[in-house]
Amino acid sequence: MRKFAAIEEQDLFFNRMKDMRSILEAQGLTEVAINIIISIDRSIRLRSRLYSTQKKFLYWRISNNLPSPISVDTIVSYLAKIYEERK
């Protein structure tokens, strides 16, 4: 079920990018300008997603009273927890 949701989300993303490209082309922008705008949009969304993941990790670390600095073991434990939750 989750795999299908990810595929649908990816399809929506590509359709959105095609729509955005068409709108920008209709406005007379060059291919270079369009590529810059689209890459900026992608990086903003990626940064937002990464920030959300980082916040969840830091909250998990604090709520489990894990020491500073962050160790590799702590990160691996968190990733294992996420993996188990998503199974």
pLDDT digits (tens, 9 = 90+) for 48-85: 878 888 888 888 888 988 878 888 988 899 999 988 98
User: Which of 47, 44, 45, 66 shows the shortest CA–CA distance to 57?
Assistant: 66
| Chain centre to alpha carbon of residue 73 | 23
- Ranges of each domain in the chain: 1-85
Ranges of H-type helices in 27-71? 31-63
pLDDT digits (tens, 9 = 90+) for 29-51: 888 988 888 888 778 877 787 88
User: Which of 55, 49, 66 shows the shortest CA–CA distance to 76?
Assistant: 66
